[in-house]
């Protein structure tokens, strides 16, 4: 007959490995080095198995992980919050390394954007007016984004050689922004590093807003807010992972000298880009299980509002990166 065991915390009689009174596990963390190393590799192997069991359906089965988690099947998979935090940290570190470091120098200063010529490292010249026009065109191509959602940003030489004028901030803030912008022009890497250090926090703040948007659109589904938050965590983990893949494929295609192989990589790049919005649409369809008409309408509303929030947050983050660089 085995001796009676007691909880080390509250001294209650144990009927298993966990105390029924305080919940503490009957386990000693004071042990020799070999025991710690053995436990570490055991936990790492178990986490690695759960990771791949999570990533495959995350990539190719929209809404599957969210349905499984909500229905109670949680042990075989990495928890959604842990998965997102791990993905966010790794993704933004990779973004900072993979983003092309293309310096832009102003070779002429004038208040007319047609007279400001921007020269890149590869020797290409482009006027500021052309650059702004291209940016506006790209923003208008974002699905569901209103045509007038772009915030006007322009170069001004009234007070300094390098100033950035924003119409929605105060005069004092504008002066401080101009000072910081001049420093950033001299060393753009400072603002880039600050942007990618703040970007994970920005994305984490957008998560509950995305879940709240789903809650409002599916208010008649009688789902709790946490159920929508699970969808948001899985969706954002997928978006970050495939954004890294898309950027990596683009850089790989540019570095390949064989045209046929570059073409194949380009097809994969296009497929990844198309799969991201299609995945999000199928995720809403398979998770909420409504008719296609309602799903398409709610997906359009979700993407429109969220894209507007995202672009506004990015613009604000750029300004903060300049101010805090």
Q: What's the gap between Cα 165 and its chain centre?
A: 28
Is 24 part of a structural domain of the chain? yes
193-218: average pLDDT? 89
pLDDT tens profile 12-55: 888 888 887 887 777 665 555 655 555 545 554 455 678 888 99
User: In this structure, what token pair is assigned to residue 224?
Assistant: 């709790």
| pLDDT of amino acid 66 | 94
Axis-axis angle for helices 292-324, 188-217 (nearest 10): 150
In the three-class reduction of DSSP (H, G, I as helix; E, B as strand; rest coil), residue 73 is classed as coil
pLDDT reading at 146 higher than 80: no
Give the integer Cα–Cα distance in Å for 290 and 105.
52
Is 101 part of a structural domain of the chain? no
Q: In this structure, are residues 49 and 76 in contact, taking their beta carbons and an 8 Å threshold? A: no
Q: Which of 59-68, 187-196, 270-279, 295-304 has the lowest mean pLDDT?
A: 187-196
Q: What order of strands is seen across the sheet that includes strand 105-106?
A: 105-106, 117-119, 125-127
Is 194 part of a structural domain of the chain? no
Give the integer Cα–Cα distance in Å for 158 and 91.
40
Q: What's the gap between Cα 144 and its chain centre?
A: 19
Is 48 part of a structural domain of the chain? no
Of residues 217 and 31, the one with the higher pLDDT is 217
Of residues 189 and 94, the one with the higher pLDDT is 94
- Rg, Å, the chain Cα set: 26
Confidence of residue 105 (pLDDT cuts 50, 70, 90): very low
CB atoms within 10 A of CB 23: 10
pLDDT reading at 155 higher than 60: no
This model's pTM is above 0.85: no
User: In this structure, what token pair is assigned to residue 7?
Assistant: 């909880």
Give the integer Cα–Cα distance in Å for 182 and 156.
12
Q: Strands 117-119, 105-106: parallel, antiparallel or unpaired by DSSP? A: antiparallel
Is 116 part of a structural domain of the chain? no
Question: ∠ CA 7-11-17 to the nearest 5 degrees?
Answer: 15
The conformation of residue 163, written as its DSSP 8-state character, comes to E
Give the integer Cα–Cα distance in Å for 218 and 298.
9
Is 109 part of a structural domain of the chain? no
Give the integer Cα–Cα distance in Å for 276 and 246.
10
Q: What's the gap between Cα 45 and its chain centre?
A: 27
CB atoms within 10 A of CB 294: 14
Is 20 part of a structural domain of the chain? yes
| pLDDT of amino acid 2 | 62
Is 174 part of a structural domain of the chain? no
185-195: average pLDDT? 70
> How many separate domains does the chain show?
1
- Read off φ and ψ for residue 198, nearest 5 degrees: -95, -20
pLDDT tens profile 276-299: 999 999 999 999 999 999 999 999
Domain that holds residue 19: 1-28
């Amino acid at each position: 007959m085995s001796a009676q065991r007691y909880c080390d915390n509250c001294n209650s009689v144990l009927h298993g490995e966990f105390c029924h009174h305080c919940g503490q596990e009957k386990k000693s963390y004071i042990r020799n080095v070999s025991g710690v190393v053995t436990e570490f590799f055991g936990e790492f192997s178990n986490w690695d198995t759960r990771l791949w069991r999570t990533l495959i359906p995350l990539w190719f089965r929209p809404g599957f992980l969210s349905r499984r988690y909500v229905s109670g099947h949680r042990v075989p998979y990495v928890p959604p919050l842990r998965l997102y935090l791990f993905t966010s940290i790794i993704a933004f570190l990779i973004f900072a390394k993979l983003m092309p470091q293309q310096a832009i120098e102003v070779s002429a200063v004038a208040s007319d954007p047609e007279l400001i010529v921007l020269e890149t490292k590869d020797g290409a010249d482009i006027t500021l007016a052309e650059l702004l026009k291209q940016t506006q065109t790209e923003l208008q191509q974002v699905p569901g984004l209103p045509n007038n959602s772009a915030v006007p940003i322009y170069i001004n030489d009234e007070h300094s050689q390098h100033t950035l004028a924003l119409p929605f901030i105060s005069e004092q803030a504008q002066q401080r922004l101009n000072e910081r912008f001049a420093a950033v022009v001299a060393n753009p890497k400072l603002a880039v590093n600050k942007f990618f250090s703040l970007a994970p926090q920005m994305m984490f703040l957008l998560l509950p807003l995305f879940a709240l948007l789903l809650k409002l659109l599916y208010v008649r589904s009688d789902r709790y807010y946490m159920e929508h938050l699970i969808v948001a965590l899985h969706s954002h983990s997928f978006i970050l992972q495939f954004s890294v893949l898309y950027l990596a494929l683009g850089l790989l295609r540019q570095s390949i000298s064989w045209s046929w192989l570059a073409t194949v990589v380009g097809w994969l790049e296009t497929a990844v880009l198309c799969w991201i919005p299609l995945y999000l649409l199928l995720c809403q369809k398979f998770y909420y299980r409504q008719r296609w008409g309602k799903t398409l309408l709610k997906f359009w509303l979700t993407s429109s509002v969220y894209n507007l929030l995202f672009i506004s947050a990015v613009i604000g983050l750029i300004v903060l990166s300049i101010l805090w660089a």
